[in-house]
Amino acid sequence: MLSEFLLAEMNRLGVQDALPLHRQLYEAMRRAMLDGKLAAGERLPSSRDLAQDLGLSRNTVVAAINQLGVEGYLVSRVGSGTYVNDNVPQINSARRARGGLRTLPTLAPARLSRRGEALAGSFCASELEVQPFTPGIADFSAFPLALWQRLQNKHWRMTYPDMLDYATAGGYAPLRRAIADYLRVFRSVQLDADQVIVTSGTQQSLELCARLLADHGDTVWVEDPAYWGAVKAFMATGLHLHPVPVDEQGIRPGASDDAHPPRLIYVTPSHQYPTGSVMSLPRRHQLLQTARTHNAWVLEDDYDSEYRFSGPPISSLEGLDTDGRVLYMGTFSKVLYPGIKLGYLVVPKSLVESFRQAHYDLNRPGQMPLQAALAEFIEMGHFSSALRRARQGYAERRQLLLESLRPLLGDADGPFISGADQGLHLCLRLPAGTDDRALAQRIGQQGLTVRPVSAYCLQRQDLRGLVIGYGYAPLAEIARCGRLLTDTVIRAGASR
């Protein structure tokens, strides 16, 4: 009986998805039509009778029937009633046709593309739980939320109609100027404000570069080990990945790599992710010469340069570029909060118009009131203040973490730390025979999240270690969590 089926289906939907009553009835009736419980051309009971059978108000029944009519499942005939549309496909049951019973053909199960399977099967962001020591996570609990809300409300109140449209000029002009001023002073980037393209973050910047500067099947050199987000961006745009090993001076291309000439070279020179190595000046000049030889573009991801705790600031690779072949990208997520989803891409002057047009056509950028609030946030000095507070807080956490890891260090053949001078993570390097994946799982059982270095490796098999973030770990918990991590590593026998 129809009412029994509808009630059973509504009960399931109410328990499983907590849908309101009219939506439960809508879904149940739609399922009845698709399953053949309500056949094409069949007349529905009146809304009054259906409401009485189901124990619902008539308004609830009418709302569900009206929605099904709008979507084409039902048709009303004046003076006759409401009927199931003849065009509704019955996809989940046998259909009776002239001459006997006919079943729908068996279809092959839907599958992802080969590229989709590769993207879905590799290291992914869904594993990055926000727990102490999770790499790549900043502490946004101290963000001046009340001030930020006032700025946003101000710009929403005074927003002109064109501020609600798509952005055609690469972003809000005052924000692009503020970014240019900041990068010129603090990162030695050579640029004009017109060269800044405001994006939704590093991922969008990478995809834009891949689509505009390389063709399907072109080769991109990536660091090995590599940042998983860049790997996925290049995979998604159909590029061929060629891993190039990283040492303590950064990416280290050799003669064998020259046999795979790149169209793009992706690097994190200021703080390699995940090892934390800093690209030396000779290696930077070598990389620019290699790019010149192969007529390649260099993509410089400067994801956490704001946080340097010892030694002089490291200038950008772009600042050494005399050929206009380096594209520089950064993000506000590490200083403000991840969900702000605003970053920037600095392109050579020869590419400005092409990138602006393509960015508009491909991404339909907007969020102009948000960009206006951020521009004022920077211009009024709040960004600098937030950055100073964050540096101080992260420096204290870093120092406590280093002290808690000290019992692991000292043995010439044992663990050592790399990448602790900058950023929001460090790398505890372990002996080559260590099963760092199993060790990371064991640490996870203690309520901490670290990442095995081997999970970031594309080709090489010689690196083992743990990537440990201290950005999100509460200051009061660093020492305790650090001791817990250290004891787990010692018990696992990975400290020798």
The pTM for the full model equals 0.79
Q: Which fold has domain 385-491?
A: Aspartate Aminotransferase, domain 1 (3.90.1150)
> Are the folds of 2-98 and 116-123+146-380 the same?
no
Query: What top-level class would CATH report for the domain 2-98?
Result: mainly alpha
pLDDT class of 101 with cuts at 50, 70, 90: very low
Q: What is the pLDDT of residues 465-493, one digit of tens each?
A: 999 998 878 888 898 999 999 999 999 88
What is the DSSP track for 320-348? Answer: G-SSS-EEEEEESTTTS-GGG--EEEE--
Is residue 401 within 8 Å of residue 204, measured between CB atoms?
Answer: no
pLDDT in tens, 365-422: 999 999 999 999 999 999 999 999 888 999 999 999 999 999 999 887 889 999 999 8
pLDDT at 98: 43
Beta pairing partners, 417? 428
d(CA 322, CA 77): 75
Q: What is the pLDDT of residue 106?
A: 62
Helix (H, G, I), strand (E, B) or coil at 101: strand
Domain-wise residue ranges, the chain: 2-98, 116-123+146-380, 385-491
The domain made up of 116-123+146-380 has a fold known as Aspartate Aminotransferase; domain 2 (3.40.640)
Residue pair 346/328 in contact (Cβ under 8 Å)? The answer is yes
- Model confidence over 228-250: pLDDT tens digits? 999 999 999 999 999 999 999 99
